[in-house]
Structure 1
Amino acid sequence: VKERMDSLVKVHGGGGYDSDFSGDDEEGEKREEEILQKPFQKGRHSKVAHRTLHADELDREEARNRRAHLISMNAFERHKKFIGDYILYYGGKMVDFKRSAAKDKTDFDVLRENHRFLWRDEDEDDMTWEKELAKKYYDKLFKEYCIADLSRFKENKFGFRWRTENEVVSGKGQFQCGNKRCEKQDGLKSWEVNFAYVEHGEKRNALVKLSKCLFSMVILCKRHVCLTGGQVG
């Protein structure tokens, strides 16, 4: 019996218990871990991550926060921030970045520079956005009766323009005197006169229709404005 027990001790490692299936259990656990592991899941790190990995992660987080902060700002606030950062880094003064307003123009300035009393086919060649703006305004005018400015008649200077929508609705220039500063409605006569004017350095002529009271027509006749025209109604 003793000899038999000694042989068992030698076989099983000093009296311990062993099993032929112990190796299979370890392989089964590894196989189960492989099955449960997701395709995009990284393996377990057996070592401590390098400090550069931590620094890179902090930089990415800072970049995300900075981007979110810039997106939350409007265009003008971003512009001021970038200018301030530039001055802080390179030096300088805010006065150096102040934009000059000497060449600024409003829509009225553009219309005044490119407006034409009558648009011809050759005037629409080489259209710029300034000319297109003036042409768009011209198309909205009503070109039947004119409004006359006689404030400088003593200098033999007259200004004619087409009527706007509000003037057409109110009857100004047709059922009221076409003089800019006259509102008489009685004794009106419609006349077609020859309007000679200089536009963009070029002399032009146009026949225009005016509805005037007697006083306004006397002024025009004395200044030889309507000598080439005639009464039309």
Structure 2
Amino acid sequence: TSRSFDIHGAGGYDSDFSDDDGEGDSSENARERKREAEILQKPFEKGQHSKVAHRSLHSCEVDREEARNRRAHLISMNAFERHKKFVGDYILYYGGQMTDFRRSVAKDKTDLDVLRENHRFLWRDEDEDDMTWEKEIAKKYYDKLFKEYCIADLSRYKENKFGFRWRTENEVVSGKGQFQCGNKHCGKEEGLKSWEVNFAYVEHGEKRNALVKLRLCPESPLHLIFNIF
């Protein structure tokens, strides 16, 4: 005996679980999310990249960060600390000793040394040609001296050698060379007599002459020599 069965949805292959409607909804939602993302994206914002950065880019960024830290460290140091660091780095990489970097003091000069080398008893116009800073120091000192009376060094008069120089401000205030004997090693104030003598001297390899005034006591060796003549 044959039986007949009623098939739901006979004549077609419909199903309640069809994906057509679902796929339609999914596509619509995707388009909606994309549209919202485009609206929310800022004009200057770069697009998102899912690609992983190359290893060289990471190394470059690390080097830049290290260079910035090194520069900040050097800026925080003073000049002497930077100098010591650079010298230490040089010795570390190239070898050597700290004594190799010590400056020689054999040719060092003080202001007094410069003054003695460039001093002139009398400055003439031609002496001021081609002025250097050493000459300027000597000329500045010369301008501070008082050139009315001289101070005499007579310690070597037996060798016929005499030394003369102009008075300083302190000597003018104390009266040395005018109200006291002009002999460097004498301080007597009585019986002083004025003399004008021709001072012949050699200066920077050139012979020169100058008339100078002295105030000497009777016991001064130069005073005795003048009295003989």
TM-score range, shorter chain: 0.7 to 0.9
Q: TM-score, normalised by structure 1?
A: 0.75
Q: Deviations over 1:99-150 (max 9, x none)?
A: 3322222221111111100011111122222222211221222222211112
Q: Secondary structure at the match of 2:178?
A: coil
> Which of residues 140, 145, 163 is equivalent to 1:141?
145
CA contact (8 A) 1:194 1:225 kept: no
> Which of residues 214, 219, 222 is equivalent to 1:220?
222
By how many angstroms is 1:27 displaced?
Answer: 2.6
Q: Counterpart of 2:100? A: 96
Q: Counterpart of 2:194? A: 190
Deviating 4+ runs (over 6 angstroms): 18-22
Q: Counterpart of 1:121? A: 125
Q: Counterpart of 2:42? A: 34
* Residues 105-114 or 76-85, more deviating: 76-85
Q: Counterpart of 1:111? A: 115
By how many angstroms is 1:196 displaced?
Answer: 1.0
By how many angstroms is 1:25 displaced?
Answer: 6.4
> Which of residues 58, 75, 79 is equivalent to 2:79?
75
CA contact (8 A) 1:149 1:159 kept: yes
Identical positions, percent: 74
Alignment-mate amino acid for residue 220 of structure 1: L
Q: Deviations over 1:65-84 (max 9, x none)?
A: 32233333333333333222
By how many angstroms is 1:226 displaced?
Answer: 11
> Which of residues 153, 165, 176 is equivalent to 1:172?
176
**Equivalents in 1 of 2:228, 2:30: separation in Å?**
123
Residues 17 and 55 from structure 1, CA distance in 2 versus in 1: closer, same or farther, beyond 3 angstroms? closer
By how many angstroms is 1:21 displaced?
Answer: 9.7
CA RMSD of superposed structures (Å)? 3.3
Q: Secondary structure at the match of 1:214?
A: coil
**Equivalents in 2 of 1:19, 1:63: separation in Å?**
50
CA contact (8 A) 1:220 1:226 kept: no
By how many angstroms is 1:204 displaced?
Answer: 0.7
Gaps of 5+ in 2: 1-8
Q: Counterpart of 1:231? A: none
**Equivalents in 2 of 1:173, 1:25: separation in Å?**
108
Gaps of 5+ in 1: 228-233
Q: TM-score, normalised by structure 2?
A: 0.77
Residues 60 and 22 from structure 1, CA distance in 2 versus in 1: closer, same or farther, beyond 3 angstroms? closer
